Amino acid sequence: MRTIFVKLFMWFWLSTIVSGAVFFLIAFNLRLSPLRDEHRRHIESQQQEVLGQALTIYGSTAAALTEKEGSPLSVDVLQRRERGPKVYLFAADGTPISQAPPPALAAAVRSRLAGTGADRPEGRIVMVRVQGPSGRQYLAAVEPHPGPPTLGQPPPLHLPPLFWLQVAITFVISGAGCYGLSWRLTAPVRRLRAAAQGLAAGDLGSRVKVSQRETGYELNDLGQDFNLMAARIEKLVLAHKQLVRDASHELRSPLARLNVALGIARKETAGSAAGALDRIEYESDRLNLLITELLTLSKLEEGGEVARGEIDLAQLVEEVTRDADFEACAANRHVHVTSTAELKLHGNRELLSRTLENVVRNAVKYTAEETGVEITLERGREEAVIRVRDHGPGVPEDQLTDIFRPFYRVAESRDRKSGGTGIGLAIAEKTVALHGGSIAARNLPEGGLEVEIRLPL
């Protein structure tokens, strides 16, 4: 849920669904309101009709009793015997015949006869004209009575036909639309990320594909800026590599002449200058080693093809261990193999031998005196695993990956006093990557540093 694509997709989708549901409910209620009014008018009309029919029957009976008995008392007796709304009998001019009619009803009858107040609440009565046996006209009226409990209430809510099918179709169509929109909006970000990953992996030619027709679009302009930055970085890095390569080649000739001059000087000078000449020879050897490693690193960084053949890793490890142990004994240290396995690998023997030699020599420099460097060779799933462990001070956790950078040195325990060039581990990292493997360093809980090399078989 953290990617911009997922966030855009979910927000677009939820917004579409929620807004669609709100619009549907609003439209449904707007359509339902006239239905409610029509339902109310229909109920009131039916009530008026039924009440009018009953009122006609009741009024005729009351008029007949009034003429027969000659007294409104009989009407009141009938009213008490019958169930239903209270009906009152009036003369044709609105004079009450029934005893004690409600004042509101009497006023409504007079207003109805006068032709006014029919629209006011007090004028909304049910009144019919009835005729007695003698032909005399009467008015039968019922006092205002509240409608049935369902009157004025909305009809029960019924979902439209195929409602859930419509919801499902809307869900799928809106999801597809929002997915396509989110994918298109985040496409420049994905291309930019892929180009950035390529550049970080060492592909200096990694670029973002941008459209010239979308000038002004922020993400498109960001891609163009990234390409400009990548082009400048590539130019600077290539210029740096070319400088190192050219300088290394140019230094070879004067260095060779220096060695020749050094040999002549040894023959022509007295023994008192031997110490100075030895120092010159030592520094010349170091310079020669540095130039060789620079040229090797430059060759590996170019990623060119190298000669490959079948390598016996167990034999290679034994040879490097034997040579490193011979050198380590002079410093009261030793190198030994703790375990080995018979493994064969297709690769460049010279480069892999130099890689393992650089790692082991680096471990010998920093392991404590009277301790040893331990080397193990074992088989992984489909890879050979070589581990080189020392008993030194280790490396700060935040610098474990930096030690494989050219000329990088850890402060204090790993400074220039160690005599190294700072390129050995960088050559090891490039060689292992050239063979499709990986190299990593980690501090052990009991102390010391362990470098692990994994090479696919």
Report the share of the chain in percent with pLDDT over 90.
1
pLDDT digits (tens, 9 = 90+) for 45-102: 777 777 777 778 777 877 777 777 766 544 554 555 455 567 777 888 888 877 777 8
**The one-letter amino acid at 345:** L
Give the C-alpha separation, 268 to 393, whole Å.
47
Distance CA 302, CA 181 (A): 42
Write down the catalytic residue from 42, 145, 240, 249: 249
pLDDT on residue 412: 47
pLDDT at 72 (0 to 100):
57
The predicted model gives 425-430 an average pLDDT of 82
pLDDT tops 60 at residue 149? no
| Residue pair 408/402 in contact by the 8 Å Cβ criterion | yes
pLDDT at 402: 82
Contact 98, 72 (CB under 8 A): yes
Rounded to an integer, the average pLDDT of 223-246 is 80
> Could you tell me which residue, 102 or 30, shows the higher pLDDT?
102
149-158, 228-237, 268-277, 296-305: segment of lowest average pLDDT:
149-158
Each residue's pLDDT tens digit, 341-367:
888 888 888 888 888 888 888 888 888
What pLDDT does residue 71 have?
Answer: 61
Place of tokens 């409990």: 149
Residue 160 has pLDDT above 80, yes or no: no
435 is catalytic: no
Domain range annotation of the chain = 4-142, 252-302, 309-456
Which comes out higher in pLDDT, residue 7 or 389? 389
Residue 34 has pLDDT above 80, yes or no: no
**With a threshold of 0.95, does the pTM exceed it?**
no
Q: What's the first-to-final CA gap in the chain, in angstroms?
A: 38
> What local confidence, expressed as pLDDT, does residue 123 receive?
47
The CATH number of the domain covering residues in 309-456: 3.30.565.10
Give the model confidence (pLDDT) of 360-397 as tens digits.
888 888 888 888 889 998 888 888 899 999 988 888 88
Q: Fill in the amino acid letter for 71.
A: S
Under the banding of pLDDT at 50, 70 and 90, the label for residue 124 is low
> What is the chain's mean pLDDT, rounded?
76
The predicted model gives 424-431 an average pLDDT of: 81
Among 81-90, 134-143, 259-268, 430-439, the least confident range: 81-90
- Identify the residue with better confidence: 198 or 407: 198
Summarize the confidence of residues 160-184 as an average pLDDT: 73
The mean pLDDT of 169-193, rounded to a whole number, is 78
For residue 428, the model assigns a pLDDT of 82
Asked whether the predicted pLDDT for residue 190 surpasses 70, the reply is yes
| pLDDT of res. 152 | 45
Sorting pLDDT into bands at 50, 70 and 90, what band is 414?
very low
pLDDT score of 16 more than 80: no
Is residue 416 very low, low, confident or very high in pLDDT (cuts 50, 70, 90)? very low
pLDDT band at 150 (very low <50, low <70, confident <90, very high): very low
Strands 334-339 and 372-379: parallel
User: In the predicted model, what is the mean pLDDT of residues 129-155?
Assistant: 67
For residues 333 and 324, give the distance between their C-alpha atoms in angstroms, rounded to a whole number: 10
More confidently predicted of 284 and 297:
284
pLDDT of residue 1: 42
SS3 readout for the chain: CCCHHHHHHHHHHHHHHHHHHHHHHHHHHHHHHHHHHHHHHHHHHHHHHHHHHHHHHHHHHHHHHHHHHCCCHHHHHHHHHCCCCCEEEEECCCCECCCCCCHHHHHHHHHHHHCCCCCCHHHCCEEEEEECCCCCEEEEEECCCCCCCCCCCCCCCCCCCCHHHHHHHHHHHHHHHHHHHHHHHHHHHHHHHHHHHHHHCCCCCCCCCCCHHHCCCHHHHHHHHHHHHHHHHHHHHHHHHHHHHHHHHHHHHHHHHHHHHHHHHHHHCCHHHHHHHHHHHHHHHHHHHHHHHHHHHHHHHHCCCCCCEEEEHHHHHHHHHHHHHHHHHCCCCEEEEEECCCCEEEECHHHHHHHHHHHHHHHHHHCCCCCEEEEEEEECCCEEEEEEECCCCCCCHHHCCHHHCCCCCCCHHHCHHHCCCCCHHHHHHHHHHHCCCEEEEEECCCCCEEEEEEEEC
Q: Identify the band that residue 17 occupies on the pLDDT scale cut at 50, 70 and 90.
A: confident
Q: What is the pLDDT averaged over residues 110-134?
A: 70
Please check the confidence at residue 213 and state whether its pLDDT lies above 80.
Answer: no
Would you place residue 41 in the very low, low, confident or very high pLDDT band (cuts 50, 70, 90)? confident
